Structure 1
Amino acid sequence: MGIADELKTKRAEIGERIEAIRKEIAEMERQQAALDAVIAIYEPDYAASAPRNRRARRKANPNGTLAEVFNGIDRRSFVLRTLREAGRPITTSDCAVALAKEVGLPSDDARLGQIGNKVSQVLDQLAKANRVRRAGKVDGHRHLWEINQA
């Protein structure tokens, strides 16, 4: 028997085991539903709890949500104002740092990268609306942005 045949055999065994586990889960769910029905007879107020998620999600940002940062700020207007006040083309990062300063965040805040992502989305939306345009690149990959004068 060759290696490929052995691997195929092992794969088939795993497939059979997966199917057996699925059947076992289905049987356990039926038993659980039956128990819930019996418990409800003795305690009419009983509500079976929903199964919990298998893994808890980690918080994306340890210092709080971006919603807190952007609360009460019109990002589009802010980006346009920042570009006008700069008087020269600036990077997305420059815009993000300006936004962080505007809301009182320190320059080393852990959310600065996420703020940059949101600012980038706003710049792309404004570019589609012909409100801003790319004015070249810095370091060969970071875009410079400016108000579209057309």
Structure 2
Amino acid sequence: MNIDSSAPVIVSEEVLVLSSPARVWALLTAIDQWPEWNPDITAAALKGPVAVGSTFQWATAGLAIVSTLGEVIPGKRLAWSGDTNGIFGIHVWTLEPADAKGESTRVRTAESWSGDAVQQAPAMMEGLLRSAITAWLGHLRSTAEQHGARTAA
């Protein structure tokens, strides 16, 4: 599953996390626990396993969203799509070990937005999405490093 490369809004970001890919994956896939470490998400509930076709309901920025998992490659890639209030989004997370020992992770994320609401104000929507993605990556990095950081040699 990939983002919609023709969407009017696309944001891609990446961050180096000083924690193992397994730890980062565990945080991303424990969807019910997102509000515990990401204050921008006020509710999240996965219906079923972390598997293609499972849905989850979540709330962020005052929006209630229902998303469907479209790709799950354990430890490496997680993607979903969903829509709310005239916005259709596709979000893809990719994890790669960033060192030979597997103690750090390169986290890449990309999201596309399309739909009537996006076409009416693409620049504003891109700013909103960029802020949300940047904050999410920051919360993810902080939480992963707090609980799974590399130990000093």
Superposition TM-score, scaled by structure 2 size: 0.24
Higher relative contact order (Cα pairs below 8 Å, separated by 6+ residues): 2
* Larger strand proportion of the pair: 2
| Pair member with larger Rg | 1
* Larger helix proportion of the pair: 1
Superposition TM-score, scaled by structure 1 size: 0.24
